[in-house]
Structure 1
Amino acid sequence: ILREFAGRFPTDYGEARSLPGIGDYTARAILSIAYNRPYAVVDGNVARIVARLGAIKGNINQPKFRGAVERAVEGLLSCRRPGDFNQALMELGQTVCVPRAPRCVACPLRKCCQAYRCGEPESYPAPRPRRATELRYLATAVIRRGAVAAVCDRRPERSNIFGTHRAPLQRMEPNPPVHCTSPWEPRSRRAP
């Protein structure tokens, strides 16, 4: 920002997106709230409100649904104070139009809310499909002779906790035969 934009955050969407770490949502939020630019900010709360207002079926993660919600918000966007509009919608979704047990009676938009009229606001948007639980069997070994030695490796890049350390693990089949060549019996423990 200092080198390319003379120390000022850019007011152009394309320039804001060119900054490292600034994605679509962040660029829209900063430009609308700080610079009064007419960009719709769509987070999960806003998507839920719009889905309920228009009784839009679909899953938040589907591009078709996301596009419909963004178009609807852009149609509602106040050009006079877009930052205030975006913040108001986000707060309404955090406090009133919540995912479970929405407080429709306290909602200022209930008169124009199709999901409220139908009596099923919790049906919108459709819940995300649950991923099937994947059962994995992993084995690790600790070998001690005299002094205790610790062996660890780094979690792989594709791990959700990349970079942390762990005992080395090996994927294995369920209930494999265990062979032991030492005088000690192998012990296994199930994770709680």
Structure 2
Amino acid sequence: MRGTIQNFQHDLLAWFEDEARDLPWRRTKDPYRIYLSEIMLQQTRVDQGLPYYERFLERFPDLKSLADAEEEEVLKQWEGLGYYTRARNLHRTARILMEQYKGNFPDTPEVLQLLPGIGKYTAGAIASIAFNKAAPVLDGNVKRVLARINALKASIDASAVQQQLWAMAGSLLSQKEPGDFNQAMMELGARICTPKTPDCHDCPVQVHCEAYKLGSQEELPMRSVKKTVPHHEVVVAVLCKGEGYLIGKRPSTGFLGGLWEFPGGKLEAGENHQQALIRECREELGIEIEPGGLITVAKHAYTHFKVTLNVFRCRVVKGKPRPNFHTELKWVTRDEFDDYPFPKGNHKFLKLL
């Protein structure tokens, strides 16, 4: 980095004071609301997460209301954001804080990291923003800023480089205003020092940036080669009884835990759609079915894989559905769909039923 740390801090904080976006979690020092914003904005853009944040707080305005709720209600409020482990961990953490910490948040990163779903970054954000503790943060935006101002010629995905970046973040951190400094670094990465075509002309710390001096800002940060994202072909069985549709609740732990879904699963080698539907319904529900017509084909991307959902109407020809995989089965009407939290992929065909 060019120049002194003190000058870097001054230039960044002066810019943040004038240019910071007016966001609801920046108008408070309430650790619950700051915590919620940090968890909600993991893997979620600010513009996308803002209405969910406000809606969530309408239903769960404080730690106690969240702790007192049933998990399914929390998942329903989270519906549409994805990465549902975040919601389950929010709920678990709220209950732990009410039961073991008298409803108070710990104010140190070390203790915060003992809570479900709170890692080093989130702990640093809560401690610095809510409690003014000198704890650094390192998210994707901050990594990019650090890599550029230091012209770091190494993959920021490497574990050794991650440690180096944490050390850089700690050395730059303002001891007097750690919360504002951390938010300013994240704001800079989100709005100015963007992944593509960074706005160096308007950057408040341009004079400190080694990459800008070298003209290498668009080449940085360096990343490891991404692995090919696997794709799965999936069948979905829409089973009807009168006006009811059969849905099942996934186990509370694991992928999409606690959400409701339509029966189905991945095709196995050599299967066609109809064969996969028959096998999945036999394994999941203990019934024999007759596959019917195709309703729709929908594509959906998760973090580590992609799926194509082939949705078929099906008819039960033998047996009574039982929850061999799901924890619970229900027959529900279209009007009742809104009462249950479904994976985002299922929402792509619900309105077609």
User: Equivalent of 1:26, from 122, 126, 142?
Assistant: 122
Q: 2:188, 2:233 → 1: CA distance?
A: 44
What's the offset of the Cα at 1:134? 2.5
User: Equivalent of 1:53, from 140, 146, 149?
Assistant: 149
User: Equivalent of 1:87, from 183, 198, 202?
Assistant: 183
- The 1:148/1:91 distance shift into structure 2, 3 A limit, reads closer
What's the offset of the Cα at 1:147? 6.9
What's the offset of the Cα at 1:126? 2.0
Percent of pairs with identical residues: 31
Which range moved further: 88-97 or 23-32?
23-32
Structure with a larger share of its residues in strand: 2
TM-score, with normalisation over the residues of structure 2?
0.44
Which range moved further: 113-122 or 53-62?
53-62
Which range moved further: 7-16 or 167-176?
167-176
- The 1:154/1:62 distance shift into structure 2, 3 A limit, reads farther
Give the letter aligned to residue 31 of structure 1: A
Which range moved further: 13-22 or 99-108?
13-22
User: Equivalent of 1:101, from 184, 188, 197?
Assistant: 197
Residue 218 (structure 2) pairs with residue 122 (structure 1): yes
Q: 2:239, 2:185 → 1: CA distance?
A: 58
TM-score, with normalisation over the residues of structure 1?
0.75
Aligned to 2:164: 68
User: Equivalent of 2:209, from 107, 113, 124?
Assistant: 113
Structure with a larger share of its residues in helix: 2
Partner of 2:105: helix, strand, or coil?
coil
* Contact 1:155–1:166, Cα closer than 8 Å, also in 2: no
What's the offset of the Cα at 1:96? 0.7
- The 1:3/1:159 distance shift into structure 2, 3 A limit, reads closer
Q: Residue deviations 1:3-34, cap 9 Å, x none?
A: 54454432233222233443322221121122
RMSD value, Cα: 3.5
Which range moved further: 128-137 or 92-101?
128-137
What's the offset of the Cα at 1:155? 5.6
